[in-house]
Amino acid sequence: MANHMQFGFQDASSPIMEELVEFHDHALMTALAICTLVLYLLTFMLTEKLTSSTFDAQEIELVWTILPAAVLIMLALPSLQILYMMDEVNEPDLTLKAIGHQWYWTYEYTDFKDLTFDSYMTPTADLPLGHFRLLEVDHRAVVPMDSLIRVIVTADDVLHSWAVPSLGVKTDAIPGRLNQTSFTATRPGVFYGQCSEICGANHSFMPIVVESAPLADFESWSSLLSS
C-alpha cells in the first residue's frame, strides 16, 4: 500500500510490476536526454551567430532522421517485451474469476474447490482499527504466493476494471466478454486496488483486496471457507 505522501509507484510485488517500473525509469531518462539536447540546441541558437559553416545541412538531416528512429527503437523493444510477458499465460497454478457488479466483486475459484463469494467494501462504521477506509473489504481474494495466478475478468451489468497497481494488473471487465490477465505475487502481503472504470454513482466504493499467503495458509483459508 502506498504512503499518502508517496510520489512514485507502489512497491512492486510481482515480476511484471518490476518490469513496468524499470521501463518507466528507462523512458523517463530517455525523455530527459531529449529535453536536455533540445534545450542545449535552443540555447546555442539564441546565443551564437549561426553561419553556413556551423552546421552542414546534410549532416543535420542525417542526425534528425537517425536519432528519432534510434529513440523509438529504444522505447519500442522493452515495451513489446513487457506486453508479451503480460499476455503470456502458460499452465497457471490457479485460476481466479473476478466478476464486477454495481458495486461489488464476485470471486470464483473454479478449478479449486469451486469456491464462490462476494466482496463488498467494509463500511466506515464497521472498519477495524488500523484498516484503510474505502479500501478494505469483508472478503479478500486470497492467493498463494510464488504461484502463477490467471485472472479471468468480466462484468454482470456495466463496464468495470479490475486493477491492483502493486501487482501490475489492470484489466477491463466487460459484460458478455472474458478478459484475461495474470500475476505472480513474490511476497506475502495485502495488496489494494479499486475499480478503475467509472461505473456509476458508487464507483469509488468498489475496492479490490488481494491477499498473498504461503501455500499452507491458502489451503487452510480455502478449507475454512468451503466448510
Tens digit of each residue's pLDDT (9 = 90 or more) over 63-109: 888 888 989 998 999 899 888 888 878 888 999 999 999 999 999 99
Please report which confidence band the pLDDT of residue 223 belongs to, taking 50, 70 and 90 as the band edges: confident
CA triple 190-158-93, angle to 5 deg: 40
The total number of structural domains that make up the chain: 2
Mean pLDDT over 167-175 rounds to 94
Angstrom distance (rounded) from CA 227 to CA 214: 20
Lowest mean pLDDT among 17-21, 126-130, 211-215: 126-130
Q: Which of 34, 61, 87 is the last residue of a domain?
A: 87
The cell numbers describing 17, all together, are: 510490476
Q: Which of 87, 106, 121 is the last residue of a domain?
A: 87
Angstrom distance (rounded) from CA 176 to CA 6: 38
User: In terms of DSSP bridges, do strands 115-119 and 104-109 run parallel, antiparallel, or are they unpaired?
Assistant: antiparallel
Q: Is residue 205 part of a domain?
A: yes
Q: Is residue 9 part of a domain?
A: no
pTM of the shown model:
0.81
Q: Within this chain, do residues 58 and 109 fall inside the same structural domain, yes or no?
A: no
Residue 56 has pLDDT above 70, yes or no: no
What's the mean per-residue pLDDT of the chain? 88
The cell numbers describing 39, all together, are: 534545450
Q: Is residue 132 part of a domain?
A: yes
SS3 letters for the chain?
CCCCCCCCCCCCCCHHHHHHHHHHHHHHHHHHHHHHHHHHHHHHHHHCCCCCCCCCHHHHHHHHHHHHHHHHHHHHHHHHHHHHHHHCCCCCCEEEEEEEECCEEEEEECCCCCEEEEECECCHHHCCCCCCCCCCECCCEEEECCCCEEEEEEECCCCEEEEEHHHCEEEEECECCCEEEEECCCCCEEEEEECCCCCCCCHHHCEEEEEEECHHHHHHHHHHHHC
Residue 168 has pLDDT above 80, yes or no: yes
Q: What is the pLDDT of residue 207?
A: 95
Q: What is the pLDDT of residue 62?
A: 81
Angstrom distance (rounded) from CA 152 to CA 141: 13
Q: Give 23's Cβ-side CA count (13 Å radius).
A: 17
Mean pLDDT over 150-179 rounds to 94
Please write the tens of the pLDDT for every residue from 104-144: 999 999 887 788 999 999 998 888 888 899 999 999 999 99
- Residue with the bigger pLDDT between 8 and 51: it is 8
Mean pLDDT over 170-199 rounds to 93
Domain that holds residue 111: 94-226
Q: What is the pLDDT of residue 31?
A: 92
Residue 226 has pLDDT above 80, yes or no: no
Q: Which of 87, 107, 137 is the last residue of a domain?
A: 87
Q: Within this chain, do residues 181 and 77 fall inside the same structural domain, yes or no?
A: no
Q: Within this chain, do residues 58 and 111 fall inside the same structural domain, yes or no?
A: no
Q: Is residue 4 part of a domain?
A: no
Q: What is the pLDDT of residue 54?
A: 56
Angstrom distance (rounded) from CA 99 to CA 162: 9
Q: Is residue 37 part of a domain?
A: yes
Q: What is the pLDDT of residue 2?
A: 47
Mean pLDDT over 142-168 rounds to 94
Residue 211 has pLDDT above 60, yes or no: yes
Q: Of 115, 132, 207, which is closest to residue 164 (Cα–Cα)?
A: 207
Q: For residue 172, what are the contacts with CB-CB under 8 A and spacing of at least 6?
A: 153, 159, 160, 161, 179, 197
Q: Is residue 203 part of a domain?
A: yes
Q: Within this chain, do residues 124 and 221 fall inside the same structural domain, yes or no?
A: yes
Q: What is the pLDDT of residue 67?
A: 87
